[in-house]
């Protein structure tokens, strides 16, 4: 309020009145329609912390009708396209963080796919960052939607699972696990987590899922990025990124397995376990190896090397992607040379700061190349 008093004291009456009107409008969320919905009630009772007006830039952005809070359209079958990539926000937030915005931007720039960002919330706040607002209004190959989970689950292998997921302490993860497979089963396409940065086109890949095992010492071939089939062995598969055609038997069996096995008490890490169990069942094997296999009904599935999508194991990302010693550009390039994407595993790195030091931080080395708009707002990383 002191800042408001200072503005009014040093400005004309018209400017003061306009400034206060916009401030109150943002603070109490009067900009959103008054229809009765759970999302609206949640917005009204939530303190509006992320639209602080402290600079002229904040004032201009907040007063812009293009960068306010918008209602998202429902994703329907008519929105499905060939060569599409799904990204999910299942925590119920009405905005994206800087790193999440980077993931969306890098996918739009590099993946060669049509990016569909689907929110649990019915609203999206574009005033959080200039970069997200620009990405939204560019309307090139990125679209933003919401999805009614309960309606979407109807007449599917996971109908009725929503009530069990709601009891889970990590329900946002469980929703993500179910939704990725159900979206791919119904519509086909790619899926990736919202903490993955895309560096290369994914458009030529199909019907693949990464195996959860890193063995860089096995790299060979002319490009030194080839791992021979049958050399990686695991009982788990990583569900990001991945691609399945609509109606794929792996997605169908995964959903049935999830519905039969899921318990809200199990916590983190169920998706890789379920994926491995389904693959082993379909392959009639006690473990999974990398390579192309043909499942029931002639459905192909490429068990891909995890190195292609996550060059650093999740247990090492805090030390390898945030290095305590200086890393040369050549060393960064060597680390990422074989990978289509980099998974930053936000569940272990979200509280590590990004300061813009490209000699120690992978984000600061990669983001200026692959998500430059998002990285301009480095304070939001």
Domain membership of residue 47 (yes or no) is no
Tokens of 230: 């049958």
Question: Which stretches within the chain are classed as H helix?
Answer: 2-9, 13-28, 38-45, 56-63, 98-110, 130-138, 149-153, 162-165, 171-187, 249-261, 270-283, 317-320, 329-336, 346-349, 362-370, 372-375
- What average pLDDT does range 14-30 have in this prediction? 48
Domain membership of residue 366 (yes or no) is yes
Q: What's the pLDDT at 377?
A: 85
Q: What mean pLDDT is reported for the chain? A: 84
pLDDT category of residue 79 using cuts at 50, 70 and 90: very high
Domain membership of residue 357 (yes or no) is yes
Residues 161-211 pLDDT 10s: 888 888 888 888 888 999 999 999 999 999 999 999 999 999 999 999 999
Domain membership of residue 362 (yes or no) is yes
Domain membership of residue 323 (yes or no) is yes
pLDDT category of residue 63 using cuts at 50, 70 and 90: very low
Residues 353-371 pLDDT 10s: 999 999 999 999 999 999 9
Residues 224-283 pLDDT 10s: 788 889 989 999 999 999 999 999 999 999 999 999 998 888 766 788 899 999 999 999
Q: What's the pLDDT at 56?
A: 46
Residue in 143, 138, 137, 149 with CA at minimum distance from that of residue 79: 143
pLDDT category of residue 55 using cuts at 50, 70 and 90: low
Residue in 259, 242, 251, 237 with CA at minimum distance from that of residue 295: 251
pLDDT category of residue 30 using cuts at 50, 70 and 90: very low
Which region, left, alpha or beta, applies to residue 188 given φ > 0 means left and ψ of -120 to 50 means alpha?
A: left
Domain membership of residue 166 (yes or no) is no
Domain membership of residue 351 (yes or no) is yes
Residues 84-125 pLDDT 10s: 999 999 999 999 999 999 999 999 999 999 999 999 999 999
Instruction: State whether residue 305 is helix, strand or coil.
Output: strand
**360 and 329 in contact (C-beta within 8 Å)?**
no
Count structural domains, the chain: 1
pTM over 0.85, yes/no:
no
Domain range for residue 325? 317-380
- pLDDT, greater one: 17 or 88: 88
């Amino acid at each position: 309020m002191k800042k408001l008093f200072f503005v009014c004291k040093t400005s004309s009456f018209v400017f003061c009145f306009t400034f206060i009107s916009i401030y109150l409008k943002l603070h109490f969320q009067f900009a959103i329609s008054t229809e009765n919905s759970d999302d609206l009630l949640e917005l009204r009772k939530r303190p509006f912390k992320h639209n602080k007006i402290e600079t002229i830039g904040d004032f201009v952005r907040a007063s812009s009708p293009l960068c306010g809070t918008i209602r998202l359209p429902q994703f329907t079958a008519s929105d499905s396209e060939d060569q599409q990539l799904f990204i999910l926000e299942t925590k119920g937030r009405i905005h994206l963080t800087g790193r999440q915005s980077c993931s969306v931007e890098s996918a739009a720039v590099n993946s060669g796919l049509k990016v569909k960002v689907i929110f649990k919330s019915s609203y999206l706040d574009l005033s959080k960052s200039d970069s997200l607002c620009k990405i939204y209004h560019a309307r090139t190959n990125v679209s933003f939607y919401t999805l009614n989970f309960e309606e979407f689950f109807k007449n599917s292998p996971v109908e009725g699972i929503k009530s069990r997921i709601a009891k889970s302490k990590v329900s946002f993860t469980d929703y993500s696990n179910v939704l990725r497979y159900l979206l791919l089963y119904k519509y086909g396409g790619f899926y990736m987590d919202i903490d993955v940065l895309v560096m290369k086109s994914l458009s030529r890949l199909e019907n693949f899922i990464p195996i959860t095992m890193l063995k860089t010492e096995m790299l060979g071939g002319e490009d030194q990025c080839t791992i021979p089939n049958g050399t990686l062995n695991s009982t788990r598969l990583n569900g990001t990124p991945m691609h399945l055609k609509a109606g794929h038997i792996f997605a169908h069996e995964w959903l049935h397995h999830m519905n039969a096995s899921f318990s809200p008490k199990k916590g983190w890490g169920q998706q890789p376990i379920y994926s491995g169990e389904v693959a082993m069942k379909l392959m009639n094997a006690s473990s999974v190896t990398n390579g192309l296999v043909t499942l029931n009904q002639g459905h192909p599935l490429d068990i891909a090397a995890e190195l292609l999508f996550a060059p650093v194991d999740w247990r090492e990302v805090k030390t390898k992607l945030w290095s305590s010693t200086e890393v040369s550009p050549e060393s960064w390039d060597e680390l990422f040379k074989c990978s289509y994407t980099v998974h930053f595993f936000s569940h272990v790195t979200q509280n590590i700061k990004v300061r813009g030091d490209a000699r120690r931080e992978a984000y600061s080395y990669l983001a200026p190349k692959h998500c430059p708009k998002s990285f301009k707002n480095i304070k939001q990383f």
